[in-house]
Amino acid sequence: MSVLAMKGVEKSYGAVKALDGVDLSLEESRFVGLLGPNGAGKSTLFQIIAGLFVPDAGEVSLFGLTHREDGPEIRRRMGVVFQARSVDLDMSIRANLRFHGRLFGLRGRALNARIDALAEQFGLAELVSRPVRTLSGGQQRKVEIARALINDPDLIIMDEPSAGLDTPSRRALVADIRKLAREQKVAVLWATHLVDEVEEADDVVMLVKGRVVAQGTPEALIAQSGADDLTDAYSSLTG
C-alpha cells in the first residue's frame, strides 16, 4: 500500500527555495531514512507532509488522500515527532499521553490500555507516574515517540528524533523504531543528518539543497557510488 506519494514538490521562503521538485514515496512497513545536511529542506518537507505548510507546487498524497480534502482522516492515521519538544515537562508521562490520546477520541479503559502498552514497549512502564522533567534525555525522546504513536498510526514521521542523545541511546532508539516498523506495519520516515542512523534503513533518500540527489537501499547507494560504506556514498553522492 502506498502510504506517502510526493511529486514535484516545491516550497520557497521569499527568495530561498527550500524544496525544489521533490519526488518521494513510502510504502507500508518501510523504514525510510531521509538524510541531508543542515538546511537541506528536511523540516520543510516534514511540515508539508504533516499538512502544516501548503507546497507552492507539486502533489502530496497520504494513504491516497490529500490534506486539502481529507486532512482530519490523514491526521488520524499519522504520527509526527518534531524536533522541538511537544510534551509538558511538568506533567507525568501518563498525563501527557492521556491528554494526547483524548485529542484522538480515546477515553477510559481503552486509553489506559494503550498508554500501558506503549510504556511497556518503550521501557517506560516503571516511570509512567513521573513528571517528564525528571526523565533522562533518551527517556524524554521515547515519551515523544509514544505520544506520536498513541493513535496507532500507519505512518510516523520523525524529524531528527535522536537530537541530543548519546551514540548508544541513538542506536537503541533506531533499533526500537525499526522493530516497530517491521512488527506493527508502521511506515517510518526518519530525518537525520547522521549517516549511522540510516545504515540499516530499508531505503535512504538523500536531500541536498531542496533536491533529492539519490535514493535507494543502502546497498544500492553504496554500489552506485562505488563507495566502501554509506558514509562514503553520502559524501560522494552529495558532493
Ligand X SMILES: Nc1ncnc2c1ncn2[C@@H]1O[C@H](COP(=O)(O)OP(=O)(O)OP(=O)(O)O)[C@@H](O)[C@H]1O
Binding site for ligand X (CB under 6 A): 13, 16, 18, 36, 38-44, 193
Least distance to ligand X, CB of residue 217, Å = 22
- The dihedral region occupied by 39, where left means phi > 0, alpha psi between -120 and 50, and beta the remainder, is left
- What is the closest distance, in whole angstroms, from the C-beta atom of residue 108 to ligand X in the complex? 39
Cβ distance to ligand X smaller for residue 182 or 193: 193
The contacts of residue 202 (CB under 8 Å, 6+ apart) are: 30, 31, 32, 181, 217
Q: Which is nearest to 25 in space by CA: 41, 42, 49? A: 49
Do residues 7 and 133 touch, judged by C-beta distance below 8 A? no
- Report, in Å, the least distance between residue 224 CB and ligand X: 22
21 vs 131, beta carbon nearer ligand X: 21
Cα–chain-centroid distance for residue 216? 18
Q: Which is nearer to ligand X, 39 or 216 (CB)?
A: 39
Judged by beta carbon, residue 41 or residue 55, the one nearer ligand X is 41
Q: How far is the CB of 155 from ligand X (least distance, A)?
A: 19
**Minimal CA–CA distance to 27: which of 152, 189, 239?**
189
Complex with ligand X: residue 39 or 131, whichever CB lies closer: 39
Residue 207 in contact with residue 35, Cβ under 8 Å?
yes
Least CB distance from residue 29 to ligand X, whole Å?
25
